[in-house]
Structure 1
Amino acid sequence: MKLIPCMITIGNFICGLLAIRSLLFHDIYAAAFFIFVGMFLDFFDGMAARKLNAVSDIGKELDSFADLITFGVAPSMLAYNVALHSISFIGILCTLAFGICGVIRLSRFNIHQSDFPTFIGMPIPFAGICLVILSFMNNNNSIALALGTCGLSYLMVSKIKFPHFKRLTVENSEARRWE
C-alpha cells in the first residue's frame, strides 16, 4: 500500500515522457492529453501519500522529477513545436528559459518552501498547464507565445505568493472531520 503514491507519481512521469514522444511525431494533441493526464495524477499522488501515511523524502524527490518532465520539459517543447520554432533562436531561448526556471523553482521549493502555507513563485504544474493553454490559443502568434512563455518562466522564480490549493483542501477536510 505504501508504494501506491510512488506508482501514481511514476505514472505522472510516464505521461511526461509520452507527451515528449508524441511531440517527436508532431502529435501536439496527444502531447497535450498526456500533460493533462499527468496533472490529474500529480493532484492525487500527494493525497494518496497522506491518506496511506506514505509521505517520504523519496516520494518528494520523485514528484519533483516527474513534475520537471511533465510540466517543465513537455510543455516548453509543445510551445516550441506549435509556434516558437518559427522565431528560431529566440524560440529556443524561451523554451530553455521555461525549463531552467522550472528546475530552479522545484529546487527552491524542495529546500525552502515545502512546509510554507503558500507557494513562493508559481508552481510548475500550474505554469505548465498555462503554457499548454497559451500554446493552443497563440498557435499562429509566435511573439505572443514567446512573451507568455517568458512571463510564466519569470512567475515560477518570482517572489509572488500563490495559494497552496492542496494544503487548503487537506486543512478543510481535516476541519470538517473534527466538526
Structure 2
Amino acid sequence: MILLSPSSGLFQCKNHLLLSDRTGRQIKEFARKNAANALSMANMVMGMASILSSLSGHHHAACWLVLIGYLLDLADGAVARRLDACSALGAKLDDFADFTTFGIATSLLLRTPNLMDNLLCMCYVLSVFVRLCFYSSGIPFMYRGLPCLYPSGILASASLLSGGNMVLLRVIAVPMILAMISQSFYPHDRILESQPWKKAVYAGGVLMVFCSSFSPACIYYLLWSASYFLFPMLIWSNKV
C-alpha cells in the first residue's frame, strides 16, 4: 500500500492547475490569432453555398448568401487589426474568400444559357481576379480599383429587387467591371474602425439579414453599396 503525503498531493494539485492555466492561455492565443481567419473562412463558406444555390436554382438564397459574405468581409480585417493578428496567411485567405464570394458566386447571378451572358460572367470573374491580384494603390488607406464587395452588394440586392431581371443586371455589371479594373482611387473605409455612423450602418446591415424576405432590406444594401460606388470620397473617406 502506497501512502501519499499531503505535500505530494499539494504538488500534484499545483501541477494540474499550472497545466490547466497553460492550456487555457494557449487556447486563448490560438483564438486571438485565428478569429479573423475564421471570419474569412465563413465568408468563403457563404460564397461556396451561394454557388451551390445558384446552380440549384435557388436564386433568393444565392443573393443573400453573397450579402452575408459582404458583412463578414467588412468584419475580418477590423477583427485582425483589433486583436493584432494580421498575417500573410490571413491576407491570402481573405483574397481567396473574396474571389469565391465576390468573384465566382456573384458572377453566377449573371448566368443564363445565353452565350453572351456566359461571356459576361467570365469577364466579371476575370475583373475580380485582376482587382485582387494586381491592384495595389501604394497609398495608405486607399484602394486602386473599386473594391469587389461593393459591385457584389449592388448586383445581389438589385437582383433580389428585380426578381433576377437580366437586362438590369447586364446594365449594372458592365460599369462594375470597368470600375474594378480602373485606375481610380477609392477610400479604405474601415467601417468598424471609423465614425460611429458608419458602425451604425454596419449594424443596420446585420439587422437587415434577419429581414431578408422584405424589399426594404434589399434597398438598404443597394443604397449602401451604391453610395460607395457613386460618392466614395464624399461619403466614405476617413477624412469626412
TM-score tier (shorter)? 0.7 to 0.9
Answer yes or no: is 1:28 the counterpart of 2:59.
yes
**Secondary structure, counterpart of 2:61 in structure 1:** helix
1:27-66 equivalences under 5 Å are 27-66=58-97
CA distance in 1: counterparts of 2:46 and 2:60, whole angstroms: 13
* TM-score when normalising by structure 2: 0.63
Give the number of the structure whose alpha-carbon radius of gyration is greater. Answer: 2
Deviation of the 1:171 alpha carbon: 6.1
Answer 1 or 2: higher relative contact order, Cα 8 Å, separation at least 6: 1
- Per-residue deviation, 1:135: 2.4
Q: 1:4 aligns with which of 31, 35, 38?
A: 35
| Cα 1:123/1:45, change in 2 over 3 Å | same
Match of 2:167 in 1: 143
Mark the runs of 5 or more structure 2 residues left unpaired by the alignment.
1-31, 197-240
Q: CA deviation at 1:142?
A: 2.8
- 2:121 — aligned with what? 95
**Structure 1 residues 54, 132: closer, same or farther in 2, change over 3 A?**
same
Contact map agreement 2:144 2:185 (CA 8 A) in 1: yes
How many Å separate the matches in 1 of 2:65 and 2:145? 25
Unmatched tracts of structure 1, length 5 or more: 174-179
Partner of 2:143, secondary structure, is: strand
Query: Which of 113, 125, 131 matches 1:105?
Result: 131
Distance in 2 (alpha carbons) for counterparts of 1:11 and 1:91: 29
Check the 8 A contact 1:79/1:132 in 2, yes or no: no
* Partner secondary structure for residue 2 of structure 1: helix
Match of 1:176 in 2: none
d(CA) in 2 for partners of 1:114, 1:6: 24
- TM-score, normalised to structure 1's length? 0.83
Q: Amino acid of the residue matched to residue 147 of structure 1? A: V
Query: Retained in 2: the 8 A contact 1:95–1:149?
Result: no
Q: Do the aligned partners of residues 170 and 37 (structure 1) sit closer, same or farther apart at CA in structure 2, a change above 3 Å counting?
A: same
Q: Which amino acid aligns with 2:54?
A: L
- Tell me if 1:156 matches 2:180: yes
